């Protein structure tokens, strides 16, 4: 199977947004910025292959800023990321005071706090800003 190795051109360019949802439908987003990482994309069809090559050549409509959206593809795998250099959480359903308290508790206990509050992982979006390098790989590469 052919895959494409995707890496950022610049450090501190990988943005990983984890979406957490509770039973009431309230969501919060945990955003991690990674210094470096590597992903593999295996286009499911020719349409995705064209999209992949187009996204590398120029930013796509619907993407954040100038970013390459890894999670836009059906088959993608994380190879590795390292050195988280920033992590934050945001909600859209709390008042400013409640949000501040929520953030403090999350900073103390992380995912354990979210689980205790009834939140579960719901999905993620991964973006690579400032350009990507692409390398065609074959089985075993």
φ/ψ of residue 12, rounded to 5: 60, 40
Q: Would you say residue 62 has pLDDT above 60? A: no
The structural domains of the chain, with segments of one domain joined by +, span 3-137
**Tokens (6 digits) for 58:** 């120029």
Question: What 8-state DSSP symbol labels residue 72?
Answer: G
Which whole number is the average pLDDT over 37-45? 95
Nearest to 130 by CA among 4, 40, 39, 15: 15
Which whole number is the average pLDDT over 44-54? 88
Query: Which tens digits make up the pLDDT trace of 15-34?
Result: 999 999 999 999 999 999 99
Give, in degrees to the nearest 5, the angle at Cα 7 between 42 and 28: 85
Which residue blocks in the chain are alpha helix, DSSP H?
A: 46-57, 96-109, 111-116
Q: Would you say residue 14 has pLDDT above 90? A: yes
Q: Which residues pair with 77 in a beta bridge?
A: 40
Length of the chain: 141
Model confidence at 127, pLDDT cuts 50, 70, 90, reads very high
Instruction: Determine contact, residues 126/69, Cβ cutoff 8 Å.
Output: yes
What whole-number percentage of the chain has pLDDT above 70? 91
Q: Would you say residue 64 has pLDDT above 60? A: no
Dump the DSSP string for 11-32: SS-EEEEEEEE-TT--EEEEEE
Please tell me the pTM assigned to this model. 0.85
Which whole number is the average pLDDT over 50-74? 75
Q: Which residues pair with 78 in a beta bridge?
A: 39
């Amino acid at each position: 199977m052919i895959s494409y190795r995707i890496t950022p051109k610049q450090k501190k360019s990988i943005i990983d947004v984890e979406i957490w949802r509770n039973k009431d439908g309230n969501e919060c987003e945990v955003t991690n910025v990674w210094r470096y990482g590597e992903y593999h994309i295996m286009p499911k069809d020719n349409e995705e292959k064209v999209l992949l090559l187009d996204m590398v050549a120029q930013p796509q409509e619907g993407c954040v800023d100038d970013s390459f959206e890894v999670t836009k593809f059906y088959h993608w795998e994380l190879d590795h990321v390292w050195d988280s250099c920033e992590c934050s959480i945001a909600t859209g359903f709390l008042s400013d005071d409640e949000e501040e308290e929520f953030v403090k508790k999350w900073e103390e206990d992380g995912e354990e706090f979210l689980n205790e509050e009834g939140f579960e992982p719901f999905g993620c979006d991964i973006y690579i800003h400032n350009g990507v390098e692409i390398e065609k790989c074959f089985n075993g590469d």
